[in-house]
Amino acid sequence: MPLVLATQAPGEPEIFASVQGEGPSAGMPCTFLRLSRCNLACVWCDTAYTWHFAGDERPHRDGVEFDRTANQLTLDEEEVAARITALGQKRLVITGGEPLLQAPALARLLGHLPDVTVEIETNGTTRAPPALDIRIDQFNVSPKLAHSGNPAELALIPERLDAYATDPRAWFKFVIAAPADLDEVLALRDRYRFKPDHVFLMPEGTDSATLREREQWLAPLCVEHGFRMSDRLHIHLFGDTRGT
């Protein structure tokens, strides 16, 4: 089955060069590949156009339903690889949606891109099968806390979190909307023994003012508990826009 991509405009796949805005690779130049579809539904998701299509009854705070035809595009792996190669970057960030839902096609895609360093951005609920896993250099795992609106039984799967916690390629990024969210992070850290220097706390927000306000109280919490803080550079640089 070909890859199902998100679009940055109708008929134009969301494949673009930029700098990574979040996590351990923040500021690094890379190519982004954004895939469509997700198995979770965060109420604050800033890429709801990858899953909240007309008829999807899962809640989102904006209440906007997206037309699937305008926001989803199917391309074969060779075409996607050619577009990625043309952008000339050595690092590829595969994001979504939940990209590991398309693991077989991703494994075939990366067979056409033998010389790129690969990051996968995942919600941590699924796994990369061996044919894909062998090509992944970095997992950016973002487990979803209660304020995302996802039931814990869907969002926090012990078997998967155990596996990522012991994988040296995995970094954990928790979206924080209020100081009380830290209690959940600490409980997860203690249960799964996440390495503190592999844990990022990132403010939830899609505008600079909100991010800056929340970082004022988030930074001291990072200092207190030994976590790292992630900004969202792309929001400050480009706003909440596609293809950035």
Residues annotated in a binding site for Mg(2+)? 47
Tokens at 64, concatenated: 């906007």
Question: How many Cα atoms are found within 13 Å in the side-chain-facing hemisphere of 137?
Answer: 14
CA–CA gap between residue 173 and residue 146 (Å, rounded) = 15
Tokens at 37, concatenated: 């579809």
Annotated binding site for substrate: 19-21, 34, 95
Q: How far apart are the first and last CA of the chain?
A: 27
Annotated binding site for S-adenosyl-L-methionine: 44-46, 97, 142-144
Annotated binding site for [4Fe-4S] cluster: 38, 42, 45
46 Cβ contact list (under 8 Å, min separation 6): 206, 240
Annotated binding site: 19-21, 34, 38, 42, 44-47, 95, 97, 142-144
Tokens at 17, concatenated: 């060069």
* Three-class DSSP category at 31: strand
- Contact assessment for residue 118 and residue 92, using Cβ atoms and an 8 Å cutoff: yes
In terms of C-beta density within 10 A (0-12 exposed, 13-18 middle, 19 or more buried), how is residue 61 classed? exposed
